[in-house]
Amino acid sequence: MIADTNDGLVDLVEARARDYLGGAPRSRRVLEAMRAIDRASFLPSEERWAAYRDAPAPIGLGQTCSEPSMVAFMLDLLDLRPGDHVLEVGAGSGYAAALAARLCAPGGRVVAVELLPGLAAAGRANCAAFGERLVYVEGDGSSGLPAYAPFDRILLSAGVRRGFDEGPFLAELAEGGVLVYPEERGRLFRVRREGGRLERDSWAGVAFVPLLGANA
């Protein structure tokens, strides 16, 4: 599915929600954030022809900017609120991090981490306009980022494989917090910390580029 403009892309995301991973509608706040932030600005110039496709877009080094419908779905699962302190791992071009920074304003902050230096440099430049609301870090975030913890919301934007340990992320998740992460091929998980208990949900049928790092 492809549109001619960013607004058209968001219209596609909204329309697809009826049949997307369970059929829940997208929240108005997420759709408004997507209208305000042009996906084309987060793609390399040679890939901007794909900016308004509701599909993953290449960003170099074998990585992608995730399908907009998937980004919107994960942001809905996170239920970002003003003032939230957010971690995104595998931030790539910075598109999801920028949307999250808008959704947790005012008062919130996103810490985005990317292992690949070339992508981290591009992502940091793409997100520079957000100033202190979005901190872009180059490094291995596959076991969390304790220097910035705790977090109200944690998003992994790359797929975990066998051997992944969610424990380090749960250790950095605040009370009332939400962790969302996908498998490379398989399921998307949401873990909520409520009253000292962990509540879990999952959705089948997702595919992501693999998470990189020691805990991938």
Residues annotated catalytic, as ranges: 66
Q: What distance in Å separates the CA atoms of residue 209 and residue 159, rounded to the nearest whole number? A: 6
The two structure tokens encoding residue 87: 């971690």
Contacts of 102 (CB under 8 A, 6+ apart): 33, 36, 37
Cα distances from 11 to residues 16, 17, 32, 77, 166, in angstroms, run 9, 10, 11, 19, 34
- What is the residue whose two structure tokens read 């934007």? 157
CA angle 8, 154, 34 (to 5 degrees): 15
- Contact between 180 and 78 under an 8 Å Cβ cutoff? The reply is yes
- CA dist 170 and 124 (Å) reads 26
